[in-house]
Amino acid sequence: MGASITMAKGAADAGLVPAVAVIGDSTFAHSGMTGLLDAIYDRSPITVFILDNETTAMTGGQESVAIHQIESICKGLGIEEDHLRIIKPLKKFHKENVKIISEELAYQGVSVIIPRRECIVAVDKRMRDKFRDKVKIQA
């Protein structure tokens, strides 16, 4: 967990490009930031996808320390604003997303793409809780 960024950095530094890392939002907050900082410092040509589902889905849906903070963290580490991209992973945005991904894969520096979409399990739970609360109020 969390090795994808350092692995991509190593691959890029060895000349294997494009190098891509994929990491979840919570894992990024716990063990990915140092790898990203190292890549930024060395100006390694990598593209990092930080998958933001706004929860710690793998271990039960706890709130992540990274919620609503990923962009700020990336900027604070030194990611250039022009290469910090947010995409919406929905079919209706496919063409736009492909364009953004293609641009960042071609960039010869560190770029971060954040596909953001709330975890479907969290959405389902939130909607069930909302419905349950509404039924209680009416009773």
Reading the block at residue 61, the tokens are: 């849906």
Chain position carrying tokens 């069930």: 128
> What CATH number labels 4-138?
3.40.50.970
Q: What is the mean pLDDT of residues 111-117?
A: 95
The confidence score (pLDDT) of residue 68 equals: 85
For residue 107, pLDDT over 90 is answered with yes
DSSP output for 36-105: HHHHHHHT--EEEEEEB-SSBGGGT-BPPTTTTTHHHHHHHHT--GGGEEEE--SGGGHHHHHHHHHHHH
Tell me if 4 sits within 8 A of 39, measured CB to CB.
no
For residue 126, pLDDT over 80 is answered with no
For residue 39, pLDDT over 70 is answered with yes
Q: Which of 8-12, 27-31, 39-43, 75-79 has the lowest mean pLDDT?
A: 27-31
Reading the block at residue 103, the tokens are: 């641009």
Tell me if 6 sits within 8 A of 31, measured CB to CB.
no
The confidence score (pLDDT) of residue 62 equals: 67
Q: Would you kindly state where each structural domain of the chain is located, as residue ranges?
A: 4-138
Q: Among 30, 26, 72, which residue's Cα sits nearest to residue 50? A: 26
Helix (H, G, I), strand (E, B), or coil: what is residue 114? strand
For residue 40, pLDDT over 80 is answered with yes
Sheet architecture: strand order including 84-87: 19-24, 46-51, 111-115, 84-87
Confidence of residue 54 (pLDDT cuts 50, 70, 90): confident
pTM of the predicted protein model = 0.85
The confidence score (pLDDT) of residue 23 equals: 95
